[in-house]
Structure 1
């Protein structure tokens, strides 16, 4: 099948086209056209683009200009360039944002993803040492959940909620309710959170729950959420499939503070 661009960056056929040609760099016109094809389903995930020489001829531009457009779409997460194989439409990934204080499911739904939750455990237990270091010794609500994106397991989330909120939420229906919202419903205000995100690989039994082989790359998020009195409310550990999600944040001069440190 011959490649047919929706719009060409050269030889415009109208006055509007001439203005677009003068104001918009050619590579951006190509990038916009390919984006339209990808988001519209004409180029589905996993499909291969024509060879670059064929594509540049179809758009009437040089290889340098075409490659600039392809790089932009790769940076946007829409394309994957594989040396020796070609350029392919990337599978869409959910984004785990670091610059918001919301529940994981809230973040994903805000991005337009279909999220469902399976409750694996919701009962009072004695907190293990890594949780007790923040919540104190004693019993806390252990909330184990499996997050599914479009019906496929993507995140295993283990949350420990300290008292008094934990005891009050042990019988609550949290399958479709944000834990943060449920806590706020009991008069406890979420003030801030501290989070560490690190790369790991899946091990049993979480690998079985996520229906992925052991050794699959994952992100592990350890988050501690605090109330207005600066006392820990929730200790949360989320194991996120690296094949299903990406991590993204926005940086500003007075915005998010990112610190890098060695894991050794």
Structure 2
């Protein structure tokens, strides 16, 4: 592929001034369209750079971006390999204010924090605590078929001694004192993912997320604050009654 052909392709938006992001955009489009099939090996960085009219270092930067997104696999002294793009998925919002995938097969999580002390201004305010009050924090990346779809962070004034996976992900209010919650409120917004969220969710620059802030109550006292950040490019959300 000549540099001229690459520059004038009409099917790939070239909005970034950075060459490595432009290279990543073209390769991403080819992967998502199926022109580059899962399992296919890409040309070496030097060869790919010659085809695209860019330096090998630029190609290496582009491949790192695509690796963070879960679209390619790189390894020393081996050609990069195309991975299966993350499939779209459906998630149900239940009456308890929690999200659960419609398809339970392939559910998983990666723990980020498991109950250590921390603080968060929005959580402290929601839980009606003194400024900079210490909270227990649990955080996990939620997975479907090994690919991230949401980042979930739970704040509570009470110690989170339980370390089971179920307590930290998908249904964080089923263990200990949190199981006694009797009501909740939720607020929603949409925004671009932060750099840290993109890294944990393996999503590309510019990806939008749904941000859902849930406050749980026990006899009208706020007892938990759950922040769920959901990949809008992958997830469709439906409402569902309690089961």
Alignment coverage as a number of residue pairs = 152
Match of 1:222 in 2: 213
Match of 2:66 in 1: none
- Runs of 5+ unmatched residues, structure 2: 1-32, 35-86
- 1:157·1:236 contact (CA, 8 Å) conserved in 2? yes
Answer 1 or 2: higher relative contact order, Cα 8 Å, separation at least 6.
2
Q: Does the residue aligned with 1:179 lie in a helix, a strand or coil?
A: coil
- 1:94·1:113 contact (CA, 8 Å) conserved in 2? no
Q: Does the C-alpha gap of structure 1 residues 123 and 146 become closer, same or farther in structure 2, counting only changes over 3 Å?
A: same
Q: 1:160 aligns with which of 150, 155, 160?
A: 155
Q: Does the residue aligned with 1:236 lie in a helix, a strand or coil?
A: strand
Larger radius of gyration: 1
TM-score (norm 1): 0.51
C-alpha offsets along residues 56-79 of structure 1, whole Å, 9 cap, x if unaligned?
xxxxxxxxxxxxxxxxxxxxxxxx
- 1:144·1:157 contact (CA, 8 Å) conserved in 2? yes
Q: Does the C-alpha gap of structure 1 residues 147 and 188 become closer, same or farther in structure 2, counting only changes over 3 Å?
A: closer
Structure 1 residue 130: deviation in Å?
Answer: 1.0
Q: Does the residue aligned with 1:156 lie in a helix, a strand or coil?
A: strand
Structure 1 residue 159: deviation in Å?
Answer: 1.0
Match of 2:192 in 1: 201
CA RMSD in angstroms comes to: 2.6
- 1:202·1:218 contact (CA, 8 Å) conserved in 2? yes
- Runs of 5+ unmatched residues, structure 1: 1-45, 48-90, 252-264
C-alpha offsets along residues 37-72 of structure 1, whole Å, 9 cap, x if unaligned?
xxxxxxxxx89xxxxxxxxxxxxxxxxxxxxxxxxx
Higher normalized strand content (fraction of residues) = 2
Separation (CA, whole Å) in 1 of partners of 2:136 and 2:178: 17
Separation (CA, whole Å) in 2 of partners of 1:213 and 1:154: 13
TM-score (norm 2): 0.56
Match of 1:176 in 2: 166
Q: 1:236 aligns with which of 216, 221, 226?
A: 226
- 1:160·1:234 contact (CA, 8 Å) conserved in 2? yes
